[in-house]
Structure 1
Amino acid sequence: MSRKTYVFLILILGSLTALGPFSIDMYLPGFPAIAKDLHTTAAKVSLSLSGFFIGISLGQLLYGPLLDRFGRKKPLYVGLVIYILASVGCAYTESIDSLIFMRVIQAIGSCAASVASIAMVRDLFPVKDNAKVFSLLLLVVGASPMIAPTVGGYVTSVFGWEMVFMILMGMGLLILLAVFLWLPDSYQPDSSISLKPKPILQNFWKVLREPQFYTYAFTGAIAFAGLFAYVSGSPILFMEVFHTDEKVYGWIFAFLSVGFIGSSQVNTLVLNRYKSEQIVRVALMSQVLIALTFLVVALNGWLTLPITLVFLFLFLSCIGFTNPNASALSLAPFAKNAGSASALMGAVQMGMGTLISVLMSQFEEPSALPMVAAMAGSASLALLVLLVGKKTIKQQVEVQQDAEAAFLH
């Protein structure tokens, strides 16, 4: 394909991938305002974030088979319409319970975009380019943590938190229009794919029992859970422990995202010299070392705002290397059922995010310790899963191989 087409596809797929992160990041500065208006606590408001993760986990398992059965675009249209309607529902909610419910529905809609975009990477680009494409998608997604919380902070302080969800509704409409007009349907519908529960579960089981998939999918998901711990804990950490306001919090979140996004782009250069599996191993070992040091500093009461920012920047930078390579290695063995594989990978990732965000919401007292401990625990467990899982892989499919070599199923 031409360079112009390549860039255009990356922008559209990146926008689809970014819809979920925007939905997460933009309302974070509004936690205190939402808690005040809905007569609850910031910790209870964080359950709406957990609800979003639950919706994404469930929705990805739903959309995986639909994307393989009906092609990529029809299920994507349905998901985007659900997202748009749920965003309006969030803006007009009057209780924390209804907000949590609408966030679950909003997530179910948004994850159609994320599952479709990941599957279409596997459809549209050769396997040898997948890790680089994932890194480029992260560059587009990087607009989320750099722009969304900052905009959300200003919108919340001037117009109120409800306006944030109306903006998200507008984004959904624009993306729906772009998909309809310019995104090719990259996959022929496969009528042999059954939508009955038993065949669907059998298909997921076929994906899950692939050693390369479960090793790198769980390694990547558990390592990525550290990011969810940061996202869940950062509003309380910065606005209640360090007493910043919504606007300053937005700028801090934007600054820290530079580490995550910047490293994901350096990853595209590093891939010219090293294999994805080598990068995952080194990045994950670094992530563990940084997180454990962070925990020791927190336990001794040595944390200040600048020290906290340094540790978070380094930790998120490691994830920027781990995530795209683990994703590419997870999907490398699949061609025919890439939709189901990407859905299952995303469900595992969001499932881990749900667990860690629910855990974070149980701590009512403002403190850095729960977030830091969760980050250290997730990184250490991810390294253990990698070391144990690697022993079960008999013949690894490299992301540098041609697409034909990856057609194992």
Structure 2
Amino acid sequence: MSVTVKLAEPETDVPPPLRLMVVLCALMGFAAISTDFYLPAMPMMGRALHADAGAMELTISGYLIGFSSGQLVWGPLGDRFGRKRPIAVGLVLFIIGSVGCALAGSANEIIAWRVVQACGACAGVVLSRAMVRDIYGAERSGAMLSTLITVMAVAPLVGPLLGGQILILAGWRAIFWLLVVIGVLTGAGLATIPETLPAHMRSRHGMLGILTGYRILFVDGRVMACALIGGFFYFGVFAYVAGSPFAFITFSHVPPQLYGFLFGGGILTIMLANMANVRLLPRFGGLQLIGWGAIGSAGAGLILFLAAWTQWGGLLGLVLPCYVFVGASGLIVANSMARAMAYRPDQAGAVSALLGAAQYGFGMLGSAAISLMADGTPRPMSAVMAIAGVAAMMSYFCFGGRGDRPTTRLA
């Protein structure tokens, strides 16, 4: 027997103070800063630790594994104990993992500590999204998530640049010590903001209830539609991240020092798309914008596929469809997260965790597919991105139209 329960929406007339928004941006940015800062240092780290490129790349893979799986734990804990306490514990783990990386004497040690670091970092990412839902409710959370994503998109732009400067001035270990400082400062900032989930709205379930809660989400077609759309989309995004250096530098002969500008163009596209999403949401609604993003990613992926296999358009024939594809994140990511949490407001933390795990889990598969199919041309990247875009679009049309009215159904 199912009972529909309406939960009171949070107060949305008065926005939270700037300090709260700064802390939320910092928490959501942990996924980027934890990796982007040390990317320029990877070759030097390999030489210092007597490790090959494959071992250093595993430091990223290990992080993604910890980040994806850890969210599934922190989300329900945030629904049970409130948002701040689990985030605080996660920050402690992040600091410990960062210290471990700074003191590591081998690549294997760094890989292990990176898993610890990721398990802590994902607490802030997954629960900061739930905090946005707590504060702004169903109607405005999509716009606010887009705003936060736009702000934190600066991290992939400045992270490698800042990391490179630190590398020159103080060596690669100083980058991880900087992450320790960032973790401590974020913890101090967390202590100054209020808890966003009142005690009377928290889940009372134990560990068995957590598993039951995920079972409820898995059978909710609306939530799973959001998870699949975002997951398939990230399948293509990570294929772009893994494949674009070979497509642009190796195949199209772009000088390595200019690759960062091409990659930065994609980040700027994402920022602009999120800014447009904020303006379009009041008029068209999140569900319709998700559909536009899914259709756009499918179209861009197919055009990229044709360009890669026919060499039509040269470098621009590759770059422009890639920009359109990644730009679709401005319509898909924030809106799918907001809609899914609106469908299950009593499980906002678990929903955020499920969608985040789907995104990074599918993303790992996308990057792995590129590694297996790599042939020195853009064809593998284009094929994976085309499949991802079409799959996201089909997920929207098959499951995404099951209604947009946020409800909570308790078994």
TM-score range, shorter chain: 0.7 to 0.9
Counterpart code for 2:132: V
**Structure 2 residues not aligned, in runs of 5+:** 1-11
Q: CA deviation at 1:276?
A: 1.4
CA contact (8 A) 1:153 1:250 kept: no
CA separation of 1:96 and 1:357: change in aligned 2, threshold 3 A: farther
Q: Could you list the per-position Cα deviations for residues 31-86 of structure 1 after superposition, in whole angstroms to 9, with x for gaps in the alignment?
A: 44444444555455333222212111211111122212221111111100111121
Counterpart code for 2:108: D
Provide the residue aligned with 2:405 in structure 1. 397
Provide the residue aligned with 1:102 in structure 2. 113
Distance between the aligned counterparts of 2:314 and 2:171, measured in 1? 30
Identical aligned residues as a percent: 30
Distance between the aligned counterparts of 2:246 and 2:103, measured in 1? 24
CA contact (8 A) 2:228 2:392 kept: yes
Q: CA deviation at 1:264?
A: 0.6
CA separation of 1:273 and 1:353: change in aligned 2, threshold 3 A: same
Aligned residue runs from structure 1 range 341-352, under 5 A: 341-352=351-362
Counterpart code for 1:383: M
Provide the residue aligned with 1:212 in structure 2. 222
Provide the residue aligned with 1:11 in structure 2. 22
Q: Which residue of the other structure, out of 79, 82, 94, is the alignment partner of 1:83? A: 94
Distance between the aligned counterparts of 1:237 and 1:40, measured in 2? 26
Matched, 1:57 2:68: yes
The count of aligned residue pairs is: 398
CA contact (8 A) 2:304 2:317 kept: no
Q: CA deviation at 1:386?
A: 1.6
CA contact (8 A) 2:135 2:196 kept: no
Counterpart code for 1:268: V
Aligned residue runs from structure 1 range 292-311, under 5 A: 292-301=302-311, 305-311=315-321
Q: Which residue of the other structure, out of 365, 380, 391, is the alignment partner of 1:381? A: 391
CA contact (8 A) 1:31 1:235 kept: no
CA separation of 1:28 and 1:240: change in aligned 2, threshold 3 A: farther
Provide the residue aligned with 1:117 in structure 2. 128
Matched, 1:334 2:344: yes
Aligned residue runs from structure 1 range 152-167, under 5 A: 152-156=163-167, 159-167=170-178
Q: Could you list the per-position Cα deviations for residues 166-205 of structure 1 after superposition, in whole angstroms to 9, with x for gaps in the alignment?
A: 2222221211111012343433277863333x32211111
Q: CA deviation at 1:382?
A: 1.2
Provide the residue aligned with 1:272 in structure 2. 282
CA contact (8 A) 2:301 2:325 kept: yes
CA separation of 1:382 and 1:47: change in aligned 2, threshold 3 A: farther
Q: Secondary structure of 1:5's match?
A: coil
Counterpart code for 1:49: I
TM superposition score normalised by structure 2:
0.87
Moved more, 70-79 or 1-10: 1-10
Provide the residue aligned with 2:273 in structure 1. 263
Distance between the aligned counterparts of 1:3 and 1:190, measured in 2? 21
Moved more, 146-155 or 374-383: 146-155
Provide the residue aligned with 1:46 in structure 2. 57
Distance between the aligned counterparts of 1:310 and 1:191, measured in 2? 46
CA contact (8 A) 2:67 2:122 kept: yes
Q: CA deviation at 1:120?
A: 0.8
Provide the residue aligned with 1:403 in structure 2. none
Matched, 1:228 2:238: yes
Distance between the aligned counterparts of 1:388 and 1:240, measured in 2? 39
Moved more, 363-372 or 307-316: 363-372
Counterpart code for 2:34: S
Provide the residue aligned with 1:72 in structure 2. 83
CA contact (8 A) 1:52 1:103 kept: yes
Kindly report the root-mean-square deviation, in angstroms, between the aligned alpha carbons of the 2 structures. Answer: 2.7
Matched, 1:369 2:379: yes
Provide the residue aligned with 2:335 in structure 1. 325
Matched, 1:359 2:342: no
TM superposition score normalised by structure 1:
0.87
Distance between the aligned counterparts of 2:302 and 2:53, measured in 1? 27
Counterpart code for 1:9: L
Distance between the aligned counterparts of 1:150 and 1:78, measured in 2? 30
Counterpart code for 2:273: S
Q: CA deviation at 1:249?
A: 4.2
CA contact (8 A) 2:226 2:337 kept: yes
Counterpart code for 1:122: R
Q: Could you list the per-position Cα deviations for residues 332-385 of structure 1 after superposition, in whole angstroms to 9, with x for gaps in the alignment?
A: 112222111211121112211222233334467654333333222211111122
Q: Which residue of the other structure, out of 278, 291, 300, is the alignment partner of 2:301? A: 291
CA contact (8 A) 2:234 2:360 kept: no
Distance between the aligned counterparts of 2:385 and 2:51, measured in 1? 27
Moved more, 314-323 or 24-33: 24-33
**Structure 1 residues not aligned, in runs of 5+:** 399-405
CA separation of 1:374 and 1:155: change in aligned 2, threshold 3 A: farther
Q: CA deviation at 1:151?
A: 2.1
Q: Secondary structure of 1:173's match?
A: helix
CA separation of 1:88 and 1:306: change in aligned 2, threshold 3 A: farther
CA separation of 1:102 and 1:236: change in aligned 2, threshold 3 A: farther
Moved more, 27-36 or 280-289: 27-36
